[in-house]
Amino acid sequence: MRRKIIVGNWKMHKTIREAREFIAVFDAFSAECAKKGVDLGIAPSYLALETLSSTAKHTLIAAQNVNEHDKGAFTGEISIPMLREINVTGAIVGHSERRAYYNETNESCNAKLKALSANNMTPIYCVGETLAQKEKNESESVVRREIEEGLKGIRKEDVAKIIVAYEPVWAIGTGKNASPDIAEAMCGYIRETIKELYDEETAEKVRIQYGGSVKVNNVAGYLARPNIDGALVGGASLEAETFIELVSAIL
């Protein structure tokens, strides 16, 4: 039985002070949820990571990006050893905003996923088609390529620990969430693809989230589906009260 996992992606929101106020309320709620089989996480900006990781005892704290090298001449980048030193145990890889604005590719995601797995960190690997790709009926082929190329060369033991987030780009921050039927179909397709590339046992272990305009009034519809194990939540994760309400809708 896979545990549920709901993660808030704060993007470029919240100062350190705001993050501190949030986690003071939120971490106790994470403790309650963990007992009910629901893991909660927050991906803040790099600056607020230590504030959260030094306070939170029950919440997965994840970076929004990471560099695959341990150190070197990579101005502006943050490495895995830097994250580990402050007890950050996860990282988002390949969010569509990073693919669109910072030229992330399946190949660069693959290098990051390999480095995270080698360091026993939990990756949240984002996949999903754009509106143009959807209109050309390419949703499945795009997502399949993201899975194949992103996970290339990663051992099945490590693949089993990766969280995949299916985030159709047309649904992110637009208020136009994918229907639970569409989300379930694609999450099922992702699981099938992993089964084909690895085996059934690995595919059954991978946790798959849906992301894109998840709100308090639609989250339960996703989590009720057999292949959807959680959600990656942007806008609705910014206020502790709203995010707690959202998670409460599936408890």
Residue (41 or 110) nearer to ligand PGA, CB:
41
The answer to whether residue 19 forms part of the interface with ligand PGA (CB under 6 A) is: no
Q: Rounded CA gap, 52 and 50, in Å?
A: 5
Task: Report the residue from 19, 190, 214, 223 that binds ligand PGA according to the rule CB under 6 A.
Answer: 214
Please, what is the minimum distance in Å from the beta carbon of residue 128 to ligand PGA? 10
CB of 177 to ligand PGA, least distance (A): 8
Question: What DSSP line would sit under the chain, residue for residue?
Answer: -PPEEEEEE--S---HHHHHHHHHHHHHHHHHHHHTTEEEEEE--HHHHHHHHHH-SSEEEEES--BSSSSSS-TT--BHHHHHHTT--EEEE--HHHHHHS---HHHHHHHHHHHHHTT-EEEEEE---HHHHHTT-HHHHHHHHHHHHSTT--HHHHTTPEEEE--GGGTTTS-PPPHHHHHHHHHHHHHHHHHHS-HHHHHH-EEEEESS--TTTHHHHHTSTT--EEEESGGGSSHHHHHHHHHTT-
Residue nearest to ligand PGA (CB): 234
**Contact between 184 and ligand PGA per CB under 6 A:** no
Segment near ligand PGA (CB under 6 A); pick from 62-70, 75-83, 180-188, 210-218: 210-218
Q: How far is the CB of 174 from ligand PGA (least distance, A)?
A: 7
Q: Is 212 in the site for ligand PGA (CB under 6 A)?
A: yes
211 contributes a contact to ligand PGA by CB under 6 A: yes
Q: How many residues bind ligand PGA (CB under 6 A)?
A: 13
Task: List 124's β-bridge partners, or say none.
Answer: 92, 163
The answer to whether residue 178 forms part of the interface with ligand PGA (CB under 6 A) is: no
| Residue whose CB is less far from ligand PGA, 49 or 233 | 233
Site for ligand PGA in 225-244 (CB under 6 A): 232-236
Residue 194: CB minimum distance to ligand PGA, A:
21
Residues with active-site annotation: 95, 167
* Dist. CA 229–CA 114, nearest whole Å: 23
Is residue 173 involved in binding ligand PGA (CB under 6 A)? yes
Q: Are 126 and 165 within 8 A, CB to CB?
A: yes
Q: What is the DSSP string of 163-180?
A: EEEE--GGGTTTS-PPPH
Which residues inside 149-168 make contact with ligand PGA, applying CB under 6 A?
A: 167
> Which residue's CB is nearer to ligand PGA, number 133 or number 213?
213
Residue 129 near ligand PGA by CB under 6 A: no
Using CB under 6 A, which of 110, 213, 218, 227 touches ligand PGA? 213
Q: Site residues (CB under 6 A) for ligand PGA?
A: 9, 167, 172-173, 211-214, 232-236
